[in-house]
Structure 1
Amino acid sequence: MNLESKKTVINKSQKEFFEFLTDLNNFEKIMPENTDKFEVDGDSFLFSLKGMPEIRLVVKEKQEFDKIILGAASSKLNFTLTANIIEVTESSCEAQLLFEGDFNPMMAMMVKKPLQNFINTLSSNAENL
């Protein structure tokens, strides 16, 4: 299952936004309002949304200033969340979130809409930084 957010313009330079996202504590600033729990532990963070199970995301890869890939820490859920960051001007960049998950068809049907809403919210909140 592949999902993507709309491309959003962020009023930070590409380098600034990349550094913002590499500090995992900053993800709390762009999380949805219904976040129940948020904890950073080294190169990973744990979060839960109301009514949903806890999910731990781990930094899998960083390509300086243009890409950050987070992945599920649990082998039960196989997915990645990629932030692509493209320079627009010296003081702004364009960002898009891509979700790739390997789910069975029933699970995919159940989680598709909530996941799309989640990445759209992250993207919108980043745009409003």
Structure 2
Amino acid sequence: MTTIQNKTEINKNVSEVYTFLSDLNNHEQLMPENIYNWSSTTDEARFTIQNMAKLALKVEDRVENQIIKLVPLEKAPFEVTLRWELQAISDTVTEATFIIDADLNMMMKMIAAGPLQKLVDFQVNKLKEVLG
């Protein structure tokens, strides 16, 4: 299993960050420009990654103010889970970690690891920007 992650500190309390991330409708704001055909509900999101694939994700697990775990709703090119882990640093600061666990063979790892790391980095930075 390949693990790709990044984290940031956000100047909001943990419940505000959790509330934002637990609704997949908000995740469109965290996506890079190469994501299009976005549609979502609170629990599911569907989108296309330019020149790559269509993806559908659903919330598999929520632990209030701690974890939001997403898994593919339909067959994906490889087994993958996406997870936001939240930790209260103080009443007004939250550490948010975005983790992608992907079951990549060596060939897929060479192709996908870079773009997945860019996605993780982009979303973490965008979350900090959006929630400021």
One fold, TM greater than 0.5? yes
Q: Which amino acid aligns with 2:39?
A: E
Q: Percent of aligned positions with the same letter in both sequences?
A: 29
Q: Which amino acid aligns with 2:87?
A: I
RMSD between superposed Cα atoms in Å: 1.4
Which residue pairs with 2:8 in the alignment? 8
TM-score, with length taken from structure 2 = 0.89
Which residue pairs with 1:113 in the alignment? 114
Aligned-partner SS, 1:19? helix
Counterpart Cα distance in 1 of 2:74 and 2:105: 16
Q: Does 1:78 align with 2:72?
A: no
Structure 2 portions without partners, runs of 5+: none
Q: What's the CA shift string for 1:12-71, capped at 9, x where partnerless?
A: 210111010111110011111232221114521012232221111110111110111111
Which residue pairs with 2:93 in the alignment? 92
Which residue pairs with 1:128 in the alignment? 129
Aligned-partner SS, 1:65? coil
Structure 1 portions without partners, runs of 5+: none
Which residue pairs with 1:104 in the alignment? 105
TM-score, with length taken from structure 1 = 0.91
Q: Please list every run of at least 4 consecutive aligned residues from structure 1 whose deviation after the TM superposition is greater than 2 angstroms.
A: 74-77
Counterpart Cα distance in 1 of 2:75 and 2:52: 18
